[in-house]
Structure 1
Amino acid sequence: MKKLLIWPVLFVSMLLSSCENYLDVESYDRVSDENTIFDKASAETAVRGAYRSLASLNYSSGFQNTILQSGGDVRSLNNAQTDLNVINYDLRSDIGFLSTYWANFYNTINRANHVIEKVPLVNDVKLTPDLKNQLLGEAYFIRAYSYFDLARVFGNVQIFLTPTKVVADKLGVSKSSQAEVYAQVLADLNQAETFLPATVVRNRATKFTVYALRARLHLYQSNWEAAENDVNRILANTSYQLVKPFSLAAGTPESVLEFSYSVTDLNTGYGLWNTSNRQLEPKAVIHNLLNDPTVGGDRKILSVQNALGQFIGGIYPTNTSAAYGIRTAELYLIRAEARAKKANPDVAGALSDLNAVRARANVPNSTALTPEEITLAIENERRVEFALEPHRWFDIVRTGRAPVVYNLNDPNKYIFPIPAGEILADPALTQNPGYGN
């Protein structure tokens, strides 16, 4: 009788664990349980798994689809109800993809937490102190990257800095404010900086990728001087340059952080643009901007018109093409914005950075003169430079321009609702304002 009672309990426990997506071990490079990191090979495998999780999270077709449509320059060819919810800024907490994004963020964070906790305890002569530090630095960076995106998508969220080993580990933790989450991101980046080497690697974290993500974070925090300083650190290295003519090619000086794919790990974003059943296309407004010689210049390759009059997005040539987390062009535009907005604006420096990006695309210099004009010109430049990358929505929200650009006056809509299932599962988790329960 005792055995008969135990089996239902075990079954329910297994269901809960699978729903949480925290203890899944799907393949050799997806390591998260407490016993799997025990030597050099398993430590490296765990970090590879965290990278794969980060890549699938930030550049999955679903996440890109949502953020690109929110940005207003890309439209869905599916006309599904959820697409209408996105473009009308009328998200509901019971929409399935929100649960997917939430779970993916925390799954990636949990993988990083396992590395951070367990790698220092590994006793393997093959795991040298330098390699151990590198793996730890990469885990801190991956956690920082994940929390940064989690906070800008959902706002106030829970912070977990230790591994979730059973479902109960994640219950009862109150949300932290978005500012507190950003502070944790900064702390993780600062910690990562102490561990990582100052080498140039395009698809893994180094000190330079730390500086780049930290500069982006400083922009969100209106910390202009710090943003400028971090960009200066990167651009002082000639390995990071604007590539002319404009091209999105992996492994070039244009790439600061890219996510790599292969025939066994395909870039799902490819299917958004380049298959017979493609899901997205650029709207006429962004197509026309990209194909205007005075605006888009060489960036016209991002949107071409076929014989049927359809607009085809040109960001991923193949299903193994790299996706860009951070590009050198973004660094120039971050520094330009920081220089224009700091207490004593550096107008000449801001224009120099803005025009460097424009010159690389064979576009005439900007005619902006004042800090305010330059700031708007930078916003417009980011729009075309990152036309098919998930930046536009976040840019408009962080600068407070959503009422003007999107006619969106309800600040509650600037972040997404927390998935209803998460609210039901954890009484300590409260819904974001404006979304009910």
Structure 2
Amino acid sequence: MKKTKYLILALSTFALLYNSGCQKQLDIKPQNAVESSVALKTSKDVEGVLIGAYTAAALRGLYGGRFQSTTDFLADDGDFAYFGTFSDYTELNNKAITINNGFVEGVWNTGYNAIGVCNTVLANLNLVDPVKKARVEGEAKFLRGMIYFDLARVFGKAWNDGAPASNLAVPIVLTPTTAIADIQNVKRNTVAEVYAQAIADLQVAETNLTTDKSTYASSGAASAILARIYLTQEKYDLAEAEATKIIGSGTYSLVEHFSDEFQVKEQATRVFNTSEDIFAIQISNQSGYNALNEVYASSAFAGREETYLFGQFFDRFEAGDDRVNEVTDDSFTSKFNNAFGNVVVIRLAEIYLIRAEARIFKSSPDLAGAAADINVVRKRALLDNTTAATAAELLDAVKYERHAELTFEGFQLFDLKRYKGTTYSVDGDGNHLDAFPWNSPKLIFPIPKRERDANPQLTQNEGYQ
């Protein structure tokens, strides 16, 4: 896999720097790998690799924006259309992905590259200072668990589509590959197996990490991803419990105005997490890349000005909803107008909506509690309290709030599948063309051709060659 190349190169570079600084004579030996015992000697070394895991996960191919944008493009049913030069986005928007799609391949490669770095950290925990060991393990397992969950969601069938115990997702790799001889042609694990691994990792992270607010992984961030997973699995009592941990902690609070969450300044500049952010990719003018700014923003804000909003997008909003104001000149979303704004992966508004949905469907429904959670989000949007009272009405209210609140943030595909909806390809005027039900094979990423060429054990998804 391509991830192996990245890891070997990273360890080789680390070892070269380490050895050149500690040896008076350069001893060059032909080799195709560097053992981690050579590259990693101290706790500081392992902690440095952990920072590398965050950097790997933050690349544009994954949480730097393209995981979010690729899934939203695939699910879109006419809120917007892409008129740009990236054929990869055009394929996604048309629900006609090819096995050579570079952005899909980027999600796979970047995901496994980051997992590989996490595995290197976890394989060397014995080097970590005892007082830091739990934290280092927790942060590495948070990243690995979150990535496995997301890879399973895009390269495998949805949890509610058939049998998770037999549907294939992605391979589970838990040990680092540091030598060419170590490379194995792994098979794809099932959806159920990958979800179980993600939950196991995140439970360790939740236990090991502090509840304090941080730009790094925290116990609250682990709880948030667990809440997402449990909601996906329809384990509503567990989803509610995880969401309540976060809300009840008092660590996070909604910003006063919806637009404040996205911190668009007059000039692009580094910003810091808001009180609402639970986990965000940190971007600055010196590091990181905000791929959401690239694809969604107008040229006035450093974007490519290639993704245009249609009337359908505006028509979805209730009168007076402040969130519809997150557009500029009726053409582009302005959520990501700061080229150096952080890419928020988890924020508190989502957690309220997760808990609202869980309260509707849990074993002992709490409809009043669900309405209260919905109203917290609506109040910030300058809307009156919901009039929904029945379970069906409240679910419709949750659906509305998730679209109005979280649009363009990478939720549309997964909401479409959880709610068993239908999406459409559209023409240049936004008119619906072909229909794609939630369980269409076209709404699942293909296993990249490059990966299957390198590893014949990787079977292809339905509908792809």
Q: Which residue of 1 aligns with 2:149?
A: 148
Bigger shift: residues 375-384 or 408-417? 408-417
Bigger shift: residues 58-67 or 346-355? 58-67
Matched, 1:121 2:126: yes
Alignment of 1:250-289 (within 5 A): 250-269=272-291, 270-272=293-295, 273=297, 274-275=301-302, 277-289=304-316
Question: Deviation at 1:151?
Answer: 0.5
Residues 111 and 151, structure 2, Cα contact 8 Å, conserved in 1: yes
Question: Aligned partners of 1:268 and 1:132: how far apart in 2?
Answer: 31
Identity %: 31
Q: Which residue of 1 aligns with 2:8?
A: 23
Question: Aligned partners of 2:3 and 2:420: how far apart in 1?
Answer: 39
What is the SS of the residue equivalent to 1:388?
Answer: coil
Question: Aligned partners of 1:18 and 1:204: how far apart in 2?
Answer: 23
Residues 21 and 103, structure 1, Cα contact 8 Å, conserved in 2: no
Residues 309 and 333, structure 2, Cα contact 8 Å, conserved in 1: yes
Structure 1 residues 172-204: Cα deviation after superposition (integer angstroms, max 9, x where no partner): 322111121011100111122232123221x21
Question: Aligned partners of 2:290 and 2:342: how far apart in 1?
Answer: 11
Matched, 1:299 2:319: no
Question: Aligned partners of 1:181 and 1:277: how far apart in 2?
Answer: 36
Q: Which residue of 1 aligns with 2:163?
A: none
Q: Which residue of 1 aligns with 2:435?
A: 407
Structure 1 residues 185-224: Cα deviation after superposition (integer angstroms, max 9, x where no partner): 00111122232123221x2111111111110111111110
Bigger shift: residues 55-64 or 335-344? 55-64
Residues 286 and 387, structure 1, Cα contact 8 Å, conserved in 2: no
Matched, 1:374 2:397: no
Question: Deviation at 1:19?
Answer: 8.0
Structure-1-length-normalised TM-score? 0.86
Residues 266 and 319, structure 1, Cα contact 8 Å, conserved in 2: no
Residues 333 and 378, structure 1, Cα contact 8 Å, conserved in 2: yes
Q: Which residue of 1 aligns with 2:55?
A: 52
Matched, 1:71 2:84: no
Question: Aligned partners of 2:144 and 2:151: how far apart in 1?
Answer: 10
Question: Deviation at 1:226?
Answer: 0.3
What is the SS of the residue equivalent to 1:257?
Answer: strand
Would the alpha carbon gap of residues 17 and 289 (structure 1) be closer, same or farther in structure 2, given more than 3 Å must change? closer
Bigger shift: residues 31-40 or 77-86? 31-40
Matched, 1:186 2:199: yes
What is the SS of the residue equivalent to 2:228?
Answer: helix
Question: Deviation at 1:263?
Answer: 1.9
What is the SS of the residue equivalent to 1:173?
Answer: coil
Question: Aligned partners of 2:90 and 2:97: how far apart in 1?
Answer: 9
What is the SS of the residue equivalent to 1:47?
Answer: helix
Alignment of 1:294-373 (within 5 A): 294=320, 297-305=321-329, 310-373=330-393
Q: Which residue of 2 aligns with 1:38?
A: 41
Question: Deviation at 1:403?
Answer: 6.3
Question: Aligned partners of 2:186 and 2:136: how far apart in 1?
Answer: 28
Gaps of 5+ in 1: 1-15
Structure-2-length-normalised TM-score? 0.81
Would the alpha carbon gap of residues 226 and 170 (structure 1) be closer, same or farther in structure 2, given more than 3 Å must change? farther
Structure 1 residues 360-385: Cα deviation after superposition (integer angstroms, max 9, x where no partner): 11112222222122112211211110
Question: Deviation at 1:63?
Answer: 3.4
Q: Which residue of 1 aligns with 2:90?
A: 84
Question: Deviation at 1:275?
Answer: 2.0
Alignment of 1:99-178 (within 5 A): 99-118=105-124, 120-122=125-127, 128-155=129-156, 156-167=169-180, 169-178=182-191
Would the alpha carbon gap of residues 164 and 227 (structure 1) be closer, same or farther in structure 2, given more than 3 Å must change? same
Question: Aligned partners of 2:219 and 2:89: how far apart in 1?
Answer: 38
Bigger shift: residues 270-279 or 191-200? 270-279
Question: Deviation at 1:283?
Answer: 3.2
Amino acid at match of 1:331: I
Amino acid at match of 1:278: E
Paired residues, number: 407
Amino acid at match of 2:305: R
Residues 82 and 90, structure 2, Cα contact 8 Å, conserved in 1: no
Gaps of 5+ in 2: 19-33, 157-168, 264-271, 426-433
Q: What is the RMSD computed on CA atoms of the aligned residues?
A: 2.6
Question: Aligned partners of 2:332 and 2:91: how far apart in 1?
Answer: 24
Question: Aligned partners of 1:80 and 1:324: how far apart in 2?
Answer: 24
What is the SS of the residue equivalent to 1:256?
Answer: strand
Question: Aligned partners of 2:181 and 2:423: how far apart in 1?
Answer: 41
Would the alpha carbon gap of residues 65 and 207 (structure 1) be closer, same or farther in structure 2, given more than 3 Å must change? closer
Higher RCO, 1 vs 2 (CA within 8 Å, ≥6 residues apart): 2
Q: Which residue of 2 aligns with 1:431?
A: 460
Bigger shift: residues 210-219 or 185-194? 185-194
